[in-house]
Amino acid sequence: MPSPSPETAQVWSTRDSILLEASRLFATRGFRGTSTRDICAAVGIRQPSLYSHFDSKQSIAEELLRRDLTLGIDALARMQADGGGAAVELYRYLRWEITYDIEDPFDKRALYNAEILELPELDSCRDLLENFSQQLEALIRRGIAAGDFIDMDVVFLRRTIDAISIEAMRGSVDETPIIDQPDLAASLVTRALLSDTSQLNDVRQRAHSLGL
Amino acid sequence: MPSPSPETAQVWSTRDSILLEASRLFATRGFRGTSTRDICAAVGIRQPSLYSHFDSKQSIAEELLRRDLTLGIDALARMQADGGGAAVELYRYLRWEITYDIEDPFDKRALYNAEILELPELDSCRDLLENFSQQLEALIRRGIAAGDFIDMDVVFLRRTIDAISIEAMRGSVDETPIIDQPDLAASLVTRALLSDTSQLNDVRQRAHSLGL
DNA sequence: GTCTATACTCTGATAGAC
DNA sequence: GTCTATCAGAGTATAGAC
């Protein structure tokens, strides 16, 4: 059904085109709802050729998920290394995450659905995700301890932050774009967590002085 | 693969059991990843018997989605009819929504994924969803006009609220429960939107005096 | 309303020529 | 690395007996 998409013309290797088109089809039809034939039709090759690049359909999902998780973990680590306090670090991380969701050509909407996340072959990815969640929770805990953030259940706050990121994935594709969504989202979340909301502008200024 | 679940024993009609088990399988395996055989195995009937209750697999998803949307629209309308101002109405609606997500036995995680939401047969549901979104946006706009809420892009704020609701669906199933999550979520969102966060306790008190 | 039997399509993956 | 050919299994849905 899907015919080759324009982006799949030249500059992408066949392997990368498979990842790109698979991410988009997974997002709109689900993992099991996307056949290897669908992916190959979108790339412009025949179905068995896929197996010159990937062992199985699952290994495509695995690579997409690992790529996304690794980029996120690295970004969060960078922001923490730069310091500035929990509020600034969280603001900068969120700003990066939403920007990345919007600009990246891959469609990541399906990756965090149970259908993919709970594939038996992906337990190493689930470990990465668990690690990531704990990093975020530690950051929030640090902000609470310093008195910068309100004292709420840390797991609940982390999940709320996850929700905003996932919503950005959803919104980045099919819906009308929002002006400066990364700053809006980072500001709203930071404002929700700050004990003293009047500090938001200060946090934003310090974040921007540290660069994107 | 799925064997009859305990809940499917007696008190549920076969038709309701199909809806219940389908919602759970759609959530974990995706819509196209769930076969009519899977659903029937979970209910305890043979695959062709499903077609005595539903015309097609799509019509099961349609009924699940319409049921969820209708309950949400009705709840929001109730809260608006009770009045109290945008902040109180939003707080009460969110509290209802999260409570419902947690207590309802149906697993609604898959219903708002593109795989189901964009089925060609479901355009009447997409109309309902559009209507619902506009109701929520009007409520937010009212709060901004009254000076209660911060002045941000209304579509962005509405999407953020959607994200929290959807996260509640995800969290209500597989993750560790959070104490009084409905009040936490409603409070956090309301606090994020309030121009003057010190009014949160007042909003909560007025909301609780109006009942759940 | 549930069953068995079945039609016919699509699925992921492999074999082997080029 | 891509192709054609092919397999064995699973997919939705229908027919018709009880």
* pLDDT for position A6: 76
Instruction: Report chain A residues whose CB lies below 8 A from the CB of B157.
Output: 188
Query: What is the model's pTM?
Result: 0.96
Instruction: Give residue ranges of A with CB < 8 Å to any B CB.
Output: 27-33, 109-110, 113-115, 118, 150, 152-153, 155-157, 159-160, 162-164, 166-167, 171, 174-176, 178-179, 181, 184-185, 188-189, 191-192, 197
Task: Give the whole-angstrom CA distance, residue B150 versus residue B160.
Answer: 14
Pick from B33, B176, B173: which is nearest to B105 by CA? Answer: B173
Place A170 in a pLDDT band, splitting at 50, 70 and 90. confident
Structural domain includes residue B154: yes
- H-helix or E-strand containing B17? helix B14-29
Place B10 in a pLDDT band, splitting at 50, 70 and 90. low
Tens of pLDDT, residue by residue over A117-154, are: 999 999 999 999 999 999 999 999 999 999 999 999 99
Tens of pLDDT, residue by residue over B72-101, are: 999 999 999 999 999 999 999 999 999 999
Asked if A128 and A70 touch (Cβ cutoff 8 Å), the reply is: yes
- Check whether B9 has a pLDDT greater than 60: no
Pick from A189, A191, A192, A209: which is nearest to A200 by CA? Answer: A191
- Check whether B7 has a pLDDT greater than 90: no
Structural domain includes residue A183: yes
- Check whether B49 has a pLDDT greater than 90: yes
- H-helix or E-strand containing B60? helix B57-82
Pick from B173, B10, B8, B167: which is nearest to B22 by CA? Answer: B8
Structural domain includes residue A5: no
Structural domain includes residue B90: yes
Structural domain includes residue A182: yes
Task: Give the whole-angstrom CA distance, residue B10 versus residue A69.
Answer: 44
Residue B31 phi/psi, 5-degree rounding, is -65, -55
> Are B188 and A185 an interchain contact pair (Cβ–Cβ within 8 Å)?
no
* pLDDT for position A129: 98
Asked if B62 and B122 touch (Cβ cutoff 8 Å), the reply is: yes
Tens of pLDDT, residue by residue over A190-209, are: 999 999 999 999 999 999 99
Give the mean model confidence (pLDDT) for residues B181-186.
95
Range of the domain at A194: 57-210
Tens of pLDDT, residue by residue over A61-118, are: 999 999 999 999 999 999 999 999 999 999 999 999 999 999 999 999 999 999 999 9
* pLDDT for position B124: 96
Pick from B161, B158, B156, B181: which is nearest to B171 by CA? Answer: B181
CA distance A111 to chain B (A): 12
Q: How far apart are the first and last CA of chain A?
A: 41
Structural domain includes residue B83: yes
Count how many pairs of residues, chain A against chain B, have C-beta atoms within 8 Å: 102
Q: Strand D and chain A: which residues 5-44 have CB closer than 7 Å?
A: 14, 40
* pLDDT for position B205: 97
- The contacts of residue A123 (CB under 8 Å, 6+ apart) are none
Q: Which of B32, B58, B134, B152 to mutate to test the interface with A (most CBs of A within 10 A)?
A: B32
* The length of chain A, given as a count of residues: 212
Pick from A107, A22, A14: which is nearest to A56 by CA? Answer: A22
Mean pLDDT, rounded, of chain A: 95
Task: Give the whole-angstrom CA distance, residue B192 versus residue B189.
Answer: 5
* pLDDT for position A148: 98
Task: Give the whole-angstrom CA distance, residue A53 versus residue A134.
Answer: 34
Give the mean model confidence (pLDDT) for residues B164-176.
86
The string of DSSP letters for B86-102 reads HHHHHHHHHHHHHHHHH
- Tokens representing B126 are 């997409």
- The contacts of residue A32 (CB under 8 Å, 6+ apart) are A115, B29, B30, B32, B33
Alpha-carbon Rg for chain A in angstroms: 19
Structural domain includes residue A82: yes
State whether residue A149 is helix, strand or coil.
strand
The percent of residues in chain B predicted with pLDDT above 70, rounded, is 98
Asked if A128 and A68 touch (Cβ cutoff 8 Å), the reply is: no
**Count of structural domains within chain A:** 1
Task: Give the whole-angstrom CA distance, residue B15 versus residue B146.
Answer: 47
Helices A123-145 and A154-174, axial angle in degrees (round to 10): 120
Place B212 in a pLDDT band, splitting at 50, 70 and 90. confident
Smallest CA–C1' separation from B36, nucleotide = D12
The CATH number assigned to the domain holding B68 equals 1.10.357.10
Residue A148's CB is within 10 A of a number of other CB atoms, namely 20
* pLDDT for position A9: 57
Structural domain includes residue B129: yes
Tens of pLDDT, residue by residue over A6-43, are: 776 568 999 999 999 999 999 999 999 999 999 999 99
Residue B194 phi/psi, 5-degree rounding, is -65, 135
- Check whether B4 has a pLDDT greater than 90: no
Q: Which nucleotides of D are covered by protein (CB under 7 A)?
A: 1-6, 10-16
* pLDDT for position B172: 85
Dihedral of alpha carbons A42, A48, A49, A52, sign: positive
